[in-house]
Amino acid sequence: MPRKLLLAVLLLSLIIEVGLSLGIFFAKDLVSKQFGVVLTPDTDFLSYIVGWLCCFLSLILCLAIYELWHHDRHYIMLCYLLGYFWMAIGIAIYVGYQRTDNLFIDTLKGLVIVGLTRWASQRIPPVAEIG
């Protein structure tokens, strides 16, 4: 059960990240308006960098989903990394810009991923000791 829930949350996060990446690369004006940013040459460059960051997160999500699907233990590290990253982003945006929507969406997503990872990883038998 926790594995399936974690897989569902990771897939939903992947859809969001890929959608955001595509939006940043192919619909900059629309995405800029959604985030309240005026598109200038500087913000255009910054959005390009953020788009590649979202692509990188998508690749990490794909790897975590692949490893979770194939019962590889490395998904635990990737899920903790993603979860704590999203919690930090949500809190930092709230502290810096008082955006409660990011606080709830990103921080909650991070908390859910960390909690489900913890729950799912408790069900994995320990690695046999050598010797």
Query: What does DSSP assign to residue 127?
Result: P
The model carries a pTM of 0.85
Residues in the chain: 131
pLDDT tens for each residue of 63-120: 999 999 998 888 999 999 999 999 999 999 899 988 888 788 889 999 999 999 999 8
Please give the share of the chain, as a percent, with pLDDT higher than 70: 93
pLDDT at 2: 87
pLDDT at 128: 59
Neighbours of 79 (CB within 10 A): 26
Per-residue confidence at 38, pLDDT binned at 50, 70, 90?
Answer: confident
Residue (of 92, 93, 60, 97) closest to 79 by Cα position: 60
Q: What is the largest CA-CA distance in the chain?
A: 63
- The burial of 75, by beta-carbon neighbours within 10 Å (0-12 exposed, 13-18 middle, 19 or more buried), is given as buried
CA geometry: angle 23, 110, 100, nearest 5 deg: 70
Mean pLDDT of the chain: 89
pLDDT at 82: 96
Cα distances (Å, whole numbers) of residue 55 to 8, 25, 73, 119, 126: 19, 10, 24, 28, 33
Per-residue confidence at 131, pLDDT binned at 50, 70, 90?
Answer: low
